[in-house]
Amino acid sequence: MKMQRVSKPPVWLRIRPHQAGIALVGVLWMVAALSLIVAGMVKVTRQDARTVSAGKQGVLAEAYGQAAIVQTVQRMQIDPTQYVRYTQLTVNYQGAPIQVAVVPLNGLINLNGASAGLLSKLFRVAGGLPATTADTLAQQVVALRDRPDTKGTAVGFDAVEDLLQVPGVDYDLYANIARLLVVGRRTVSRVNALAATPEVLVVLAGGDSAVANQIVQARQVAGSAPDTTRLDASFVDNSSGSRYRLIASLSLDSGRRWYVSRDIDLNRNAPDGLPWRTFGADRRVASAP
């Protein structure tokens, strides 16, 4: 009699139950790993897209802001006397409304000339430091600023960023006060209240926002004489000059506002032939209010 040949079952049928369970777990782990890899790649791609978009927005903001600033400076050259006070105006460029603030530099606090008392008030009001800490830090700034060089001349600060060299000045404090400061001649120690930014006025008013707002509203009227008697007289004067900070601000999307600033001198020609000189520049982005 001819014996029938029995064929072997498929390999997957010959796997023992516990081996099949292990294999299934391995497959599941592999699927999970692949899912994580894909998810990571998608996340990276989205981050790259956001980075590219932010870079593009930054380039556009720089171009638009610079164009608005140039238009404003051209206006200022016609009659500079109209801009001896803090001034805000709107410039339209490529159909985009751009806000431009014209700030005479004597409306900012001079890091090289401000007294320890004014610096202490800055650290306390704008920086949020306790009075005792603010006083101590102000003295440290003055000591570092006024130390003599080899010729006996005070070294001073070359840039506002040099404030970070002072022990006790961390980045959070610096970020709160940097835009209220300027590095100028040591002989300039006070602030012109009519030229001051609203934030500087709050400092001069000892933190009283109501007093600062009254001055802001009053000086918008041409020829008016705002009442500055409630400001500390030892920190205020009516000096003038030819140097300005122009700050252009614009929104290119719904979530952020870009700020482009230039420090210029109207009385000095630039090497590129422009009838004014730019000696400082900055750009930042913030969440839209």
pLDDT at position 12, please? Answer: 45
* CATH 1.10.40 domain span(s) along the chain: 107-244
pLDDT higher for 201 or 252? 201
Let me know how long the chain is.
289
**C-alpha distances out from residue 26 to 30, 32, 40, Å:** 6, 10, 21
> What are the C-alpha distances in Å from 264 to residues 102, 113, 180?
11, 20, 16
Distance of CA 282 to the CA centre of its chain: 8
- The band of 170, judged by pLDDT with boundaries at 50, 70 and 90, is very high
**What pLDDT score was predicted for residue 115?**
96
Residues 6+ apart with CB under 8 A from 136: 168
Which DSSP helix (H) or strand (E) runs through 283?
Answer: strand 277-287
pTM confidence score: 0.78
DSSP 164: G
What's the CATH class of domain 107-244? mainly alpha
Kindly report the average pLDDT of the chain as a whole number.
84
**pLDDT, tens digit (0-9, with 9 covering 90-100), for 182-211:** 998 888 899 999 999 999 999 999 999 999
Buried b (16+ CB within 10 A) or exposed e, 9-48: eeeeeeeeeeeeeeeeeeeeeeeeeeeeeeeeeeeeeeee
Strands 87-93 and 181-182: unpaired
